[in-house]
Amino acid sequence: MDPKIQELLAELEREKAERERERAELDQERQWRQHAESEVWHKLDQLPHFLTEKLFPSLHQLDYVRQLISPISSEWDLRYYEREKVENQVRAIMYRIYENDELKMAFGLRGSITFESHANLGLATRANDCKHESQGAFPHVLRLQRQFTRLQALFLRAEAERRQAEEREAREAVLRREAEELRMQAEEREAEVKVRSQPTTLEELIKGCHDSFSRPLQVGTPSRSTKGSIPPPTGKYCPTSLRHWSSCPVQLQEIYESVSTYLQPAGKDAPRLFTSLLVLNELRRRYSSRKLQSEKDLEHYERTAVEDHVHDIIAELCKIPDA
């Protein structure tokens, strides 16, 4: 496996272990909060319910107040309090207190009250709007305010954790995309090497020879080439004159079509029988920088670029009885 992919996967595992550790710490702290809240409930049940009895005489309304100060054990609970319980119920409680002069006098309150949404949670009062005669005069309000402060702290912490989780998810998404891109690149390289290393068809062989040998062919300058007289072809067949072969293209096309009938059949997958593109490219790298400067260079080029491949084609045709 690619080392970069292994490194990215290892980083993902480290991120996962870090999240598990944070989740364990959060569960431990949540258990501690639940124990502390149960202690608060026990103390609250032993005190008078002057505030709830004055404001909500019915059991249904009293239940809302009890739920308002119930323990918070998860981020979902906190969001539920924020949406369904805290804001609406706090507004209802405080508005009803300030609408009733008797209640305002009982709790030592004066003036008016304003609400500001602080991260969608919390109660803000003007500095001069609430002046307590003593802390013992309205213990339930103080308990509610302390509970709201704790809820606010929990909400802000949950928001920070949510942002951290989103940032981790974003980093993990980037790492996953990078790992996927590296994997796709590795697969593409592997597929390309596989294609280039497999045997070629007749058409691929002809095109590969053209690109590897014919196109980069260069002839050296006469001043740098071998010199000397050509010996007479004594005892050898030799043409005495040259004449234009006008029908050469037509005959070559007929030969090509005849060979293609067996090695490149129409409507069928052509057999892969010839030298791979990887080998052709290696031969091209070896000979592309050389210029033909002697008869020996020409002979070597003809054997490597032409005769060997023609020999392979004829050998494959000989294996086909109908050919």
In angstroms, rounded to a whole number, what is the distance separating the alpha carbons of residues 68 and 96?
A: 16
When pLDDT is averaged across residues 49-66 and rounded to a whole number, the result is: 45
Percent of the chain with pLDDT over 70: 60
Split at pLDDT 50, 70, 90, the class of 38 is low
Q: Domain coordinates of the chain in residue numbers? A: 3-183, 198-218+257-264+271-323
Of 49-58, 186-195, 283-292, 310-319, least confident by mean pLDDT is 49-58
Model pLDDT, residue 265: 84
pLDDT higher for 102 or 176? Answer: 176
For the cut 70, the answer to whether the pLDDT of residue 81 exceeds it is: no
Tokens representing residue 255 in the block? 């030969």
Tokens representing residue 138 in the block? 């309205």
In angstroms, rounded to a whole number, what is the distance separating the alpha carbons of residues 234 and 223?
A: 29
Split at pLDDT 50, 70, 90, the class of 80 is low
Question: What pLDDT digit, counting tens, does each position of 236-255 carry?
Answer: 888 888 899 999 999 999 99
In angstroms, rounded to a whole number, what is the distance separating the alpha carbons of residues 109 and 98?
A: 8
Model pLDDT, residue 308: 92
pLDDT higher for 67 or 4? Answer: 4
Model pLDDT, residue 304: 87
For the cut 60, the answer to whether the pLDDT of residue 96 exceeds it is: yes
Which residues 6+ apart lie within 8 Å of 55 measured at CB? 61, 65, 93, 96, 97, 103
- E strand or H helix that includes residue 82: none
Amino acid at 221: T
CB 119 within 8 A of CB 152: yes
Model pLDDT, residue 311: 93
Enumerate the β-bridge partners of residue 130.
109
For the cut 70, the answer to whether the pLDDT of residue 314 exceeds it is: yes
pLDDT higher for 37 or 250? Answer: 250
Model pLDDT, residue 111: 55
